[in-house]
Structure 1
Amino acid sequence: MPSRFAAIDFGASSGRVLTGALQDGVLDLREEARFANRPQRLPSGLHWNLMDLFAQALDALRAAGPLSGVAVDTWGVDYGLLDDHNRLLGLPYHYRDGRSDAMVERAFERVPSAVHYAATGIQTMPINTVFQLLADEGSAAFNAASRLAMIPDLLALWLSGELANERTNASTTGLLDARTGEWAYDLIDGLGLPKRLFCDLVEPGTRLGTALPGHGLGALPVYTAPSHDTASAFAAAPITGEGCAILSSGTWSLLGLELPEPVLTNTAHGFNLTNERGVDGTTRLLKNVMGLWLEQECARTWGTSDHAALFAAAADAPAQTAPLFDPDDPAFLPPGDMPGRITAACTATGQTPPEGQGATIRAIVESLACKYRLVLDLLAQASGREITKIHVIGGGARVALLCRRTAEITGCEVCAGPVEATAMGNLLVQARAAGELSSLEEIRAVALASSDCVTYEPSADRAAADATYERFLDVTGLVAPAAA
């Protein structure tokens, strides 16, 4: 009987437990459980309900039957503070809480932005761990803390009793040296953060130990995944050649290139690109774009969970008259009335706001596709690579309208799939750690063989695409890079 591994895969809007076994070069993937990830607003702020997520994951693992390994991947930047007995000091905050909004200025007063970027290569966003830690300064939890555990580190600790900081998620902190993959202690000192918080770093595929007896899982090996979900997703992206970009499309859109080394130039810094660590020491040069969060919050505001119906209505709405806006406007980051915010953004730029649900979602789709084109231009200039193809992975690969418009607006061929790239990457890295695969290339070959990908070709009518893009740049005030 083939080994079956389990992936605990927590995204910003849902949690999943999937299992997978290799059979004849194909991953037999099964969804064991899927559940909502609902943050809780408490008097102290917006927090993740990690105890509920962890309990549901354990239930799914027990129901899945005999397993050969388990690993955790989640979103980046968020963390728990632990005491010297690895006990959690308060519920981890949600990155959309807003407490760190004012901390960017504080950080750059202590260490200039250029110095910070030269060390870590991380895109400046208020949600980054470094800024959240500065917001924690002076709190009882911060003063008592002995260790920092990123969210997947914390969940792996609860599973196995062993704590380690996994490198791919550590790279999202803005405190990891982009060149060496070690903690940037000079930067940490300059920021006034205590070194004691940052513990030993490990690579994806490290065996931490076995599940604690109280979980009822037997002697189940617990591994580190590429624990930043984007790192797991990129590992399963079937890229071919240097002209391929990867778009991990979900609550966030993470659009980038896989490179052998970080790009820490003034150009990359000026474009606010990020260098995150991937499997086998690779670098993901990418940019975060707000993503399907915009549609998800619209759906929540409207009281519907029928996302397919919303995108179907959007497909019937005209593209030519859809108002456009910058998806990364800070106003869109917190939870709230997203349709109202989109209306305000369009009104502020002299456009007629979208009327109705279909038109609103169409405006989101058109704006995202245009933002992707801008990001591709930035990536091409910073990396010196010509980009001709985009692999869309994750839940957004199911959204045919967005994939089609991305191909048409960017002029790139779009290959959509695999949808469950994050869980696949998690599972296949475990399989490699157990000796069933030997290389990242083999992982990707299995991922490709296990996926039904859909191809979208760019439109031959470049004039219409260019006109939409120019209108986007005009109303947003964003500037495309000059041709090299």
Structure 2
Amino acid sequence: MTKLATVLAFDLGASSGRALIGELLPDEASGRKQLKVTEIHRFPNEPIAVRGHLHWDILRLLQELKTAIRKAFQEGFAPQAFGIDTWGVDFGLLDASGELLGNPYHYRDSQTEGIVEELSELIGKDRLYEQGGLQFMPFNTINQLYAMKKANSPKLDVASTLLLTPDLLAYFLTGEKVCEFTMATTTQLYHPKEQQWNTALMDQLGIPSQLFMEPIHPGTIFGTLSPDICAELDASPMAAVAVGTHDTESAVAAVPAKGDLPFAYLVCGTWSLLGTELEHPIVTPEAQALDFSNEGGVGGTYQLLKNIMGLWILQECKREWDEQGSKLSFAEIVVQAQSAEPFRSFIHPDDPSFYAPSGMIGRIKAYCRQTSQPVPESVGEIARCILESLALRYRHALTQMEELTEQSFSGLHMVGGGIQNKLLCQLTANAIGRFVWTGPVEASAIGNMLMQLVALGECANLQESRELVAASFPIEEYAPEHSEAWNIAYKAFESLTME
């Protein structure tokens, strides 16, 4: 079959990365195009602790990207373009000669402890929110840079350029330094209303504003795979495309929503991001009070969303069970959760005690004990507690979002790796009392591919791209069940998690 285009998407999450080939194919029977996705490489992404700090092993990640490029050409795909999306906020610093100044810090590094409170006192929470539009999260780029400034880091004195993670990896592959728009908006240093860097705030904090470049938008070709990389990997030149480099925004681009109606989505993985797509940011006092973020999206949109701790909590529990020798798969854990007693105990997934790695099981038990609930002991009880709490937290956030936007959503689109947990999908439908539509699983990588296809002229715009997703991937529907029991459970959950 004749291929209309072939692209390579690198999708790096906080715990693993993957490289996938997207082939745009004509469907002669329907006359519509279809996107075929093939995974060619998958690899772990594990932070490294060094002398009290937590870092990303950025050069190892670069090597994994190179391995994927080599595999792509060895397997005969010959992609015309590539794009990279990753988690947000983290960055590398380059000196004047383009050399990397040390391994980038991991967003869970302890250097930012207490910085949110300090900046809120120094600048004022109202100004920080109105000019940055983000939830007050310890890992935001502004907090990392201010922590480095406070520590008198010599890196800031000699740095010439700041590159956020996907742009840094693209620089290694192309030699081109760029700053992509969606990632820029995760820094809390980009003014969402004025659509420019907040240099006045940078100057006040002593953060060098010359480190930041003018952002480019998703769907822009900015370079090619460099000749030395092509020679090293026996690869042909590929166009480098600025996709929605923040993985959340790439995932939202792949939500198969129909028409122009507003829709609610949940990007479900290590983190859960529940939001809706808007033409303009909402940086009102009400949005600040409800702790919603405004992040730049693809196609000139903004995403009003809430960060929720997500399946990180269950992942950490699984890691502890593995260390104890149980070696249960996630599927086996879900089976045990399915059999456990419902509505026995809840946690607030965004409680600060669940932010740090290690000791998660003990902290869940401590939370339940401190809130006078039955303490979960078995694998099934703990997993059920986590999954029901996440589902109820989604309902809470969805209700708040409807208040802010004055919109009513008929259901929830769930995308990302977390939708493979079918129990969580059903519990979410039950909790919100509405339909849940799931798919695709590899939403970030697919959204990455879509912006490459826009850049190559194969998709006209965001809506046509979403129609391609709907035509190419199965969507599963979950109907709500046991509504009254869930309404009672939600009241109990609210009493524990009053914000």
**Same fold per superposition (TM over 0.5):** yes
Corresponding residue for residue 496 of structure 2: 475
Are residue 310 (structure 1) and residue 333 (structure 2) matched? yes
Pair 353,411 (structure 1): closer, same or farther in 2 beyond 3 Å? same
Contact 1:111 1:191 in 2 (8 A): no
1:433-458 CA-partner distances (Å, limit 9, x unpaired): 01111010111001111111110011
1:96-122 CA-partner distances (Å, limit 9, x unpaired): 112112111232233211111111211
Q: What is the aligned counterpart of 2:16 among 6, 9, 14?
A: 14
Q: Secondary structure at the match of 1:226?
A: coil
Cα distance in 1, alignment partners of residues 398 and 447 from structure 2:
24
Cα distance in 1, alignment partners of residues 8 and 294 from structure 2:
28
Corresponding residue for residue 163 of structure 1: 177
Instruction: Extract unaligned runs of 5+ from structure 2.
Output: 27-32
1:173-252 to 2 correspondences below 5 Å? 173-216=187-230, 217-240=235-258, 242-252=261-271
1:35-56 CA-partner distances (Å, limit 9, x unpaired): 1111111114111111112111
Q: Secondary structure at the match of 2:42?
A: strand
Cα distance in 2, alignment partners of residues 174 and 107 from structure 1:
12
- The one-letter code sitting in structure 1 at the alignment partner of 2:187 is T
Aligned length: 476
Corresponding residue for residue 423 of structure 1: 445
Contact 1:98 1:334 in 2 (8 A): no
Corresponding residue for residue 447 of structure 1: 469
Cα distance in 2, alignment partners of residues 144 and 107 from structure 1:
24
When structure 1 is superposed on structure 2, of 207-216 and 266-275 the one drifting more is 207-216
Cα distance in 1, alignment partners of residues 119 and 300 from structure 2:
27
- The one-letter code sitting in structure 1 at the alignment partner of 2:496 is V
- How far residue 189 of structure 1 moved from its aligned partner, in angstroms, is 2.4
Cα distance in 2, alignment partners of residues 288 and 119 from structure 1:
19
Pair 255,345 (structure 1): closer, same or farther in 2 beyond 3 Å? same
Corresponding residue for residue 67 of structure 2: 59
1:244-283 to 2 correspondences below 5 Å? 244-283=263-302
Pair 143,44 (structure 1): closer, same or farther in 2 beyond 3 Å? farther
Cα distance in 2, alignment partners of residues 436 and 242 from structure 1:
24
- How far residue 305 of structure 1 moved from its aligned partner, in angstroms, is 6.2
- The one-letter code sitting in structure 2 at the alignment partner of 1:368 is L
Corresponding residue for residue 385 of structure 2: 363
- The one-letter code sitting in structure 2 at the alignment partner of 1:6 is L
Corresponding residue for residue 434 of structure 1: 456
Corresponding residue for residue 464 of structure 1: 485
Are residue 130 (structure 1) and residue 149 (structure 2) matched? no
- How far residue 377 of structure 1 moved from its aligned partner, in angstroms, is 1.2
Cα distance in 1, alignment partners of residues 206 and 101 from structure 2:
20
Q: What is the aligned counterpart of 2:396 among 371, 374, 377?
A: 374
- How far residue 287 of structure 1 moved from its aligned partner, in angstroms, is 0.4
Cα distance in 1, alignment partners of residues 495 and 328 from structure 2:
34
- How far residue 76 of structure 1 moved from its aligned partner, in angstroms, is 0.1
Q: Secondary structure at the match of 1:201?
A: coil
Cα distance in 2, alignment partners of residues 468 and 106 from structure 1:
37
Cα distance in 2, alignment partners of residues 464 and 354 from structure 1:
20
When structure 1 is superposed on structure 2, of 233-242 and 23-32 the one drifting more is 233-242
Contact 1:110 1:191 in 2 (8 A): no
Q: Secondary structure at the match of 1:227?
A: coil
- The one-letter code sitting in structure 2 at the alignment partner of 1:144 is V
Q: What is the aligned counterpart of 2:96 among 84, 96, 115?
A: 84
TM-score by length of 1: 0.96
- How far residue 473 of structure 1 moved from its aligned partner, in angstroms, is 1.3
Are residue 297 (structure 1) and residue 316 (structure 2) matched? yes
Q: Secondary structure at the match of 1:369?
A: helix
1:333-363 CA-partner distances (Å, limit 9, x unpaired): 1110211111111111011211211111110
Contact 1:407 1:458 in 2 (8 A): yes
Q: Secondary structure at the match of 2:314?
A: helix
Q: What is the aligned counterpart of 1:399 among 396, 415, 421?
A: 421
Q: Secondary structure at the match of 1:261?
A: coil
Cα distance in 2, alignment partners of residues 305 and 80 from structure 1:
37
1:76-135 CA-partner distances (Å, limit 9, x unpaired): 011111111221111011111121121112322332111111112111111111001111
Give the CA RMSD over aligned residues: 1.3
Corresponding residue for residue 123 of structure 2: 111
Corresponding residue for residue 23 of structure 1: 25
Instruction: Extract unaligned runs of 5+ from structure 1.
Output: 480-484
Identity of aligned pairs, percent? 41
Q: Secondary structure at the match of 1:16?
A: strand
Corresponding residue for residue 482 of structure 1: none
Are residue 120 (structure 1) and residue 132 (structure 2) matched? yes
Corresponding residue for residue 347 of structure 1: 369
Corresponding residue for residue 29 of structure 2: none
Corresponding residue for residue 430 of structure 2: 408
- The one-letter code sitting in structure 2 at the alignment partner of 1:313 is Q
Contact 1:317 1:358 in 2 (8 A): yes
Contact 1:243 1:388 in 2 (8 A): no
- How far residue 186 of structure 1 moved from its aligned partner, in angstroms, is 2.3
Cα distance in 1, alignment partners of residues 445 and 300 from structure 2:
20
Cα distance in 1, alignment partners of residues 300 and 136 from structure 2:
22
Contact 1:243 1:389 in 2 (8 A): no
Pair 194,337 (structure 1): closer, same or farther in 2 beyond 3 Å? same
Cα distance in 1, alignment partners of residues 391 and 120 from structure 2:
32
Cα distance in 2, alignment partners of residues 181 and 69 from structure 1:
28
- How far residue 22 of structure 1 moved from its aligned partner, in angstroms, is 0.8
1:161-213 CA-partner distances (Å, limit 9, x unpaired): 00111010110000111124321222222333111111121111221211112
Cα distance in 1, alignment partners of residues 485 and 120 from structure 2:
42
